[in-house]
Structure 1
Amino acid sequence: MDMKLEVIVLPVADVDRAEKFYAGLGWRLDADLGTDSLRVVQLTPPGSPCSIIFGSGVTTAAPGSVQGLHLIVTDVEAARAELADRGVEVSEVFHDEDGLFHHAGTTGRLSGPDPERHSYASFASFSDPDGNGWVLQEITTRLPGR
């Protein structure tokens, strides 16, 4: 049976501020429904089959507690530049000292893209206004079976 990840719930403190931030990234607003006690806002990144939802009454998680959300891009430097042009505070492009994946936080970061530009090995990171953490990951060639 297929199981498709379609929605990620983000905990935010200020729904309107979060909506403005994500819409400012160029993400499509799919829904803004409900009342003050239960409000659901859904946005989708360009080209993504998975959306984010946040609002009031949709999660008990602490605002900003979601980390390690990955946005896959074909050119991490161009994606980083686009975010910066939109006013987002985004890290420099980096690769990990171990070359396998990136460590949590900023541990093991080496400046610049992977020297050999291996797929899956170059990153940049940013956070939303609440501190939910996102990672841009450059993938140009998928692993077999993907």
Structure 2
Amino acid sequence: MQDAAPIDAWLTHWLTAREQGFPEWSAATGRAADLDFSPESLLALEQVVRHRTPTKQALHDPAHADFVQGAIWYLGEVACRHRYAQWRYHPDLTGRSKNPYVGRPFVQQDGDGNDAIPLLELQAAVLSGESGVLVERFEVFD
């Protein structure tokens, strides 16, 4: 069930840009055929992210911003499609918020459901060094 929460204009623009850019983004990963929005495809996403941004610093490097934004969107879309989550965004009006949910897109299930910040999930996968982190974390997101 979709809730009626208003959608932020920034988020609407970001989601549209990411969806329209997905074919090019996925082709650039070299794994387009594996990125089918299934939960199992998170292993391919994790491998691509680790290859392209093998450190926390690389993940946050502006030179990789477009790639990382595509990975954030892809991960969140898998949650939206398979765990009934919705995209959310709270703008950082002061530019100084320490709240991790402010100033970055995240996904949240309705009611008392789970939420996740895809950027931080990708960061956990990069820092872990273990294979299957995204799949494992996705499995508990229900």
TM-score range, shorter chain: under 0.3
Looking at secondary structure, tell me which structure has more strand per residue: 1
Structure showing greater radius of gyration is 1
Of structures 1 and 2, the one with the larger relative CO (CA 8 A, separation 6+) is 2
The TM-score, its normalising length taken from structure 1, stands at 0.26
